[in-house]
Amino acid sequence: MPRQVIHSDHAPKAIGPYSQGVRSGNTLYFSGQTPIDPATGALVAGDIGAQARRVFDNLKAVCEAAGASFEQVIRVGIYLTDLSSFAAVNAVMKEYFHEPFPARSTIGVAALPLNAQVEVDMVLVFD
């Protein structure tokens, strides 16, 4: 099955040997996004809420570049450097997703690139 690379100029450029997203068949796999502002290439300032919003905005840009929406997301993976931020990230996630919510895992990690507090990846299925 051929792969299609998905790219958006409204999300940060890849900082390594990976694509922002790859579609294979009716499934789109998103690389993890950190709270990098695509306009500046720098980590956004602010608390975990500001960082989470930037992450979901980055993912939304890749989603839209593929002609899709968050309504089609079936799985979300969240990586936090401080699990006490769980409730704050939940609140932000509810701004972007509505019931029925996608499946999700949340994992505590020791560190993330550029000292980000949060990273998120997703899987989407086209109807």
CATH number of the domain to which 63 belongs: 3.30.1330.40
pLDDT (0 to 100) of residue 1: 75
pLDDT (0 to 100) of residue 2: 87
Which tokens sit at 99? Answer: 């019931």
Cis peptide before 100 (omega within 30 of 0): yes
pTM for this prediction: 0.96
Its domain, for residue 38, covers: 3-125
Radius of gyration, CA atoms only, the chain: 14
Let me know: does 38 contact 86? Beta carbons within 8 Å: no
In terms of C-beta distances under 8 Å and separation of at least 24 residues, what long-range contacts does 41-47 make, across chains too? 41/12, 41/13, 43/114, 43/115, 43/116, 47/88
Which tokens sit at 48? Answer: 């975990």
Which stretches of the chain are DSSP H helices? Answer: 48-65, 86-96
The string of pLDDT tens digits covering residues 5-53 is 999 999 999 888 999 999 999 999 999 999 999 999 999 999 999 999 9
Instruction: Report the share of the chain in percent with pLDDT over 90.
Output: 95
- Looking at residue 91, its amino acid is A
Tell whether the model's pLDDT for residue 72 goes beyond 80.
yes
Number of folded domains that form the chain: 1
